Amino acid sequence: MNLFVVCMERLVHIIDSVVTRYKWKPIPIRGGGPQISNLMFADDLVFFAEATEDQAQIVKVCLELFYGALGQKISHKKSWAIFSTNMSCPDATKISGALEF
- The total of structural domains in the chain comes to 1
Of residues 47 and 73, more confidently modeled: 47
Say which amino acid occupies 96.
S
For residue 12, is pLDDT > 80?
yes
Higher pLDDT, 69 or 55: 55
pLDDT for position 47: 92
Mean pLDDT of 66-72: 79
pLDDT, average across residues 8-32? 88
Angle of helix 53-70 relative to helix 89-99, nearest 10 degrees, comes to 20
Question: Residue 75's closest CA among 40, 38, 45?
Answer: 45
At 44 the pLDDT is 83
Q: Which domain holds residue 10?
A: 3-99
Q: Is the pTM of this model over 0.85?
A: no
